[in-house]
Amino acid sequence: MHMEKKEKIIIITGFIITAVAGVLYYTHANAVLAFCVTAGALALLALIVGDATEQLGSSFGPGTTGILQAAFGNLPELFVCIFALRAGLNKVVQGALVGSILANSLLVLGLAILFGGLKNGTQRFKSNPPKMVATLMILAFAALAIPTLTRLLHTSAEAHLNTLDVFLAIILLITFIASTFFSLKGDSAVVPAKPVSGKKAAHWPMSLAIIMLACAAGAAAFVSDWFVVALEPAMKILDINETFAGLVIVAVAGNAIENLVGIQFAYRNQMDYSMSVIMNSSLLIALGLFPLLVLLSFVLGGAILSFVLTPMLLVCLALAVIVSAFIVFDGESIWLEGIALIGLYLLIAAAFWWG
């Protein structure tokens, strides 16, 4: 196998912890212990899925790699949200989706700018690609705000919110498909050239990449179910409300760890690719995963997921989108901006600790 030692350790550790999570689930062990172990397994499986997808995509070029990452990179979070919806935890799902955007736009971006800035000083990057993504995120937020404002302002469309949600989901998915097509064309406005890292990455055979992707994705489906089963009793024992569980815990376990690659590129002073990885992850959630889950919720047989957010969630989402846009529009960053972004994320998380 053409694998680096680090990759082998991650894969072996991931499947061992997955096995332990299975034992805890079937033996009905302590809910908090099962919750912590399944969260760790889910994070490692997300990392393995991301690695396998990148290795598979490297055989086809950057455009196809982006499509594969969009299709498979968020599978663990998708599975968690599906099982949570079937369990009636729509607030957890809503919090997890918004939390993923917040984690990418504030926490991960802030860490990338902080560590990159401390090592390399003021960092500069081509502003057009992240500006394009930031503009699409602002438009996505505007679209997501409409159902919430419809409810808050009690307009005549309030009686047809489900229909409005479906229509909005279709519009967002069409926009996502259009942006994906734009990316496939390789336009420099949204797709910066992938930088060459300091060492040659190990290349897996295609058969190995497919096997690892299938195994990790299959394991993620089981672990997601175990995670949701352990989530409800763990929340009661730890006195964690549904919104905080989704906004912070589920979002970080299912999404943010995979995007730590953006921090690595910033540390290597490869900010163009770092910005692309981090900001496109938020865009994928807003334009792809969120509307897809809204549509799926009508056929899953559990809770119906809506775009109607609480006023606090809506304001926090607006802050994340606007602040991250301001950070990238000038094409340069300093470590102090990273601290500010991390601080804002921690303030938002603290505000939801009590509900």
pLDDT score recorded for residue 274: 80
Stated pTM of the model:
0.82
User: Would you state the structure tokens that stand for residue 37, as one six-digit string?
Assistant: 């172990």
Which of 143, 40, 45, 115 shows the shortest CA–CA distance to 278? 115
pLDDT score recorded for residue 132: 85
pLDDT score recorded for residue 168: 94
Tell me the C-alpha distance between 228 and 246, whole Å: 11
Distance, CA of 220 to chain centre = 15
pLDDT score recorded for residue 213: 80
Question: Can you tell me which residue has the tokens 């096997």?
Answer: 211
pLDDT score recorded for residue 68: 63
Q: For each of the chain's 355 residues, which pLDDT tens digit applies?
A: 567 777 788 888 988 999 999 999 898 888 889 888 988 888 888 778 777 777 776 666 544 555 566 566 677 778 888 888 888 888 888 888 998 899 888 998 999 999 999 988 888 888 787 888 888 999 889 988 999 999 999 888 888 899 999 999 999 999 988 887 776 666 555 555 454 444 445 477 778 878 888 888 888 888 888 888 888 888 888 888 878 888 888 787 766 555 677 787 788 888 887 887 788 888 888 998 999 999 999 988 888 999 999 899 999 999 999 998 888 888 888 999 999 999 999 999 999 887 6
pLDDT score recorded for residue 60: 61
User: Would you state the structure tokens that stand for residue 90, as one six-digit string?
Assistant: 């729509």
Contacts of 217 (CB under 8 A, 6+ apart): 49, 72, 75
pLDDT score recorded for residue 257: 56
Tell me the C-alpha distance between 185 and 63, whole Å: 7
Tell me the C-alpha distance between 327 and 15, whole Å: 38
User: Would you state the structure tokens that stand for residue 140, as one six-digit string?
Assistant: 């996505």
Which of 43, 56, 53 shows the shortest CA–CA distance to 14? 43
Question: Do 338 and 233 meet the contact criterion of CB atoms below 8 Å apart?
Answer: no
User: Would you state the structure tokens that stand for residue 135, as one six-digit string?
Assistant: 């503009």
Which of 270, 279, 232, 227 shows the shortest CA–CA distance to 103? 279
Tell me the C-alpha distance between 174 and 168, whole Å: 10
pLDDT score recorded for residue 199: 42
Domain boundaries of the chain, sorted by first residue: 5-351
Instruction: Please list the residues that pair with 123 across neighbouring strands.
Output: 333
Instruction: Please list the residues that pair with 124 across neighbouring strands.
Output: 332
